[in-house]
Each structure stands twice: as C-alpha cells, then as structure tokens.
Amino acid sequence: MGAIDSRLFKRNSIAKPHRQRSTLARREEWIGWLFVSPWVIGFVLLTAGPMLASLGLSFTEATLLSPPRFVGLDNYRMLFSTDEVKSLFWKSLSNTSYYVFLSVPLTVALGFAMALLLNQDLKGQGIFRTIYYLPSIMPPVAVATVWTWVFNKQYGLLNAALAWVGIEGPAWLTSVEWSKPALVISSVWTAGGGMLVFLAGLQGVPTDLYDAAKVDGAGVWSRFRHVTLPMVSSTIFFVLVTSIITSFQVFVIVFVFSGAVGGSQAGSLGGPANSTLMYVVYLYRLAFKQFRMGFASALAWIYFVILMVFTALVFKSSSAWVYYEGELLGGGDGK
C-alpha cells in the first residue's frame, strides 16, 4: 500500500513539474543565500574591505593615533631610496627567499620519500607513519622551543652529536651564518605533514596500472617514473602550493629562535644582526612596534603581489608536469 502511494505521489509531481519546481527553486535561491550569508558577510567585512583599506592606507602616512595623511607613492618610493629602509627591505626579502627555496623543496621531497618508503608492505608500518607524522601535530611554538635547546652551542644535542663524529658545531642561533640554516633544519623536521597527503595519493593509484606496466616489462624505476609520478603529480602540486604559502609566512619559529619574548625585546626579533629577519617579521616590526601603519601596508601589498605572482607561476607551470586524470571525466561533472 505504502509503495503504491509513494509511486502515485511521484507521478503526480512529475505531471506538473514546471510550476512547482520554479517556485521551489526561487524560494531555495533565497534560502541558499541565507545559508552562505555568514561567510559572505565575513568576507566583505574581514577580508575584502580590509584589503581595500590596506591598499588605501599604503598611499598614506598613518600611525594608530593620528589620522592618515595622503603621501602618494612615497611609501613605495622609500623602498628604493632611503638607505636604512632599503637595506632592511631587501634583506628581509632575501632572507625569506633563502628560507622558502631551501625549506620547501627539502620538506616536499623528504615527505614524498617518507611516503614512498612507508607505502611498502612493512612490519610496524602504522607505528612508523605515526612517528613521522607526530612533529607536524605539535604546536609550532613548542617545536621551536625544543629546537632552540637542540641548537644550543654548549648544551645542545646537535652539537653533541657533531662532536661525537669529530666536528665542532657552530653557535647556531647566535651566529649570522648558521641562524638561517637552523631555521631550515627545524622546518624539515615537520616534513611528515606532507607525507600523510602523499600516502593517500599513492594509495589512490590503481594497482592494475602497475600490473600492466609489469606485463610490459617495466622495471622498478620506470614504473615509478611512468606510473607513480604522473599519478601523484596533482598531490605533489597541492603539497607544493600549500607549503610555499605557509613558508612565506614563517614567523613563529623566528619569534622563538631570536628570543623575542612577547613585547619586551622586540629589538632582537629577527636577529642576530637581522639574519633571520623574514618579510613577515619585518612587517610586524614596522606595523606593531614602530606603528608605521601606512608604510607597513605598502609592504603588505608588495608581499601580497609577490606571493600571488609566485603562486600563479607555479600554477602556470603545473600544466607542464601535473597530470589530471579527472580532466576527462571531470568536464561534465559540475552540478
């Protein structure tokens, strides 16, 4: 009885679908906007609005107390003229590039290598995966704090290990030459975060592809090169983009490494001798220690443009090396 009822009901609704659907659709349209409205309002108030405001501020001289005074392009010009500003700006830019160009390839490659190893059928696989992943769960402040102690010249573990093989370790965090490599080393320790995503990507590769390659006589290397690598290239791309964006924003490790305790010793933030002055650190110093809000806004926008151009380049390059299996199927997939 119930089955017949529902079928009748369905037939009824099919009989006059047009009017019913359009009123329903119109009402749903309105409700749809209502559901997404929290994010839309947030986007306007907390993202789009402030972005425009910071663009406006970048053409002014503004402190927190005085009203902003229009200065045209002075803030941007200052980066190329005034000596002190010029040198710090370029220094922070080169420090950030150093960090990004070393840390990103190392962490991505290491994360991928870990995933390849742990994708084998090993005893204790789960335990190894967990150990490799743990550092990326730990709060960056705690990670940085522990590493500060590992890098200690006299009492640190790293130099003790180096002494054991007969090398006298440097004063990592207080030396101008070694402070940046120290940042990179401690960031590489959290490579396990990418590993997890890579593992999922590797497990998504259909096994019949490997079987087919084997039948065709492909060895281990050529199976890796012609099956694994193309199949996980979209995962590599994702990990690459996210780690570029996060490492451009490196702040907390520098904050802890240079011993800047919330507010009190901001002078040393980015030290020693500005050797770990990252772009975001410089931005923070200008905006919230010296309260040069206008100038800092100009810097923020330059930073934004650099990051966008860089990301766009990576995206652009992706068509050359990222293989999207879904493209064939994905075309008509959109709802």
Work out the end-to-end distance of the chain between its first and last CA atoms, rounded to an integer number of angstroms. 35
Span near another protein by CB under 8 A; candidates 7-15, 82-90, 173-181, 223-231 = 7-15
3 state SS of 275: coil
Q: Does 323 bind another protein (CB under 8 A)?
A: no
Alpha carbons 112 and 122: distance in angstroms, whole number: 17
Q: Does 184 bind another protein (CB under 8 A)?
A: no
- Count Cβ atoms below 10 Å from residue 173 Cβ, excluding itself: 23
Tell the smallest beta-carbon distance from residue 123 to another protein (Å). Answer: 8
Span near another protein by CB under 8 A; candidates 47-55, 79-87, 167-175, 316-324 = 47-55
Residue nearer to another protein on the CB measure, 133 or 178: 133
Cα separations (Å) of 293 from 57, 66, 79, 255, 313? 7, 11, 15, 21, 30
| # residues contacting another protein (CB under 8 A) | 99
DSSP string across 219-235: -HHHHIIIIIHHHHHHH
Half-sphere exposure for 191 (CA within 13 Å, toward CB): 19
According to CB under 8 A, which one of 8, 40, 313, 314 is a site residue for another protein? 40
Beta bridge partners of 60: 70
Tell the smallest beta-carbon distance from residue 24 to another protein (Å). Answer: 8
Q: 120-179: which residues touch another protein (CB under 8 A)?
A: 120, 122, 128, 130-132, 134-135, 137-142, 145-150, 154-157, 160, 163
According to CB under 8 A, which one of 23, 265, 290, 317 is a site residue for another protein? 265
Burial (Cβ within 10 Å: 0-12, 13-18, ≥19) of residue 64: exposed
Residue nearer to another protein on the CB measure, 175 or 234: 234
4 alpha carbon, distance to own chain's centre = 56
Please tell me whether the peptide bond between 68 and the residue prior to it is cis, using omega within 30 degrees of 0.
no
Q: Does 31 bind another protein (CB under 8 A)?
A: yes
Angle 192-203/83-118 helices, nearest 10 degrees?
40
Contact 13, 20 (CB under 8 A): yes
According to CB under 8 A, which one of 11, 16, 18, 335 is a site residue for another protein? 335
Half-sphere exposure for 157 (CA within 13 Å, toward CB): 5
Tell the smallest beta-carbon distance from residue 70 to another protein (Å). Answer: 16
Q: Does 189 bind another protein (CB under 8 A)?
A: yes
Residue nearer to another protein on the CB measure, 83 or 233: 233
Listed residue (287, 306, 285) closest to 57, CA to CA = 287
Q: 60-119: which residues touch another protein (CB under 8 A)?
A: 64, 114, 117-118
According to CB under 8 A, which one of 85, 240, 256, 278 is a site residue for another protein? 256
According to CB under 8 A, which one of 90, 304, 317, 321 is a site residue for another protein? 304
- Exposure class string for 79-117: b at 16+ Cβ within 10 A, else e: beeeeebeebbebbbebbebbbebbbeebbebbbebbbe
For residue 252, what are its two tokens?
Answer: 């907390």
Residue nearer to another protein on the CB measure, 42 or 105: 42
Tell the smallest beta-carbon distance from residue 73 to another protein (Å). Answer: 18
Q: 193-222: which residues touch another protein (CB under 8 A)?
A: 196-197, 200-201, 204
Tell the smallest beta-carbon distance from residue 212 to another protein (Å). Answer: 22
Tell the smallest beta-carbon distance from residue 139 to another protein (Å). Answer: 3
Residue nearer to another protein on the CB measure, 65 or 83: 65
Q: Does 2 bind another protein (CB under 8 A)?
A: no
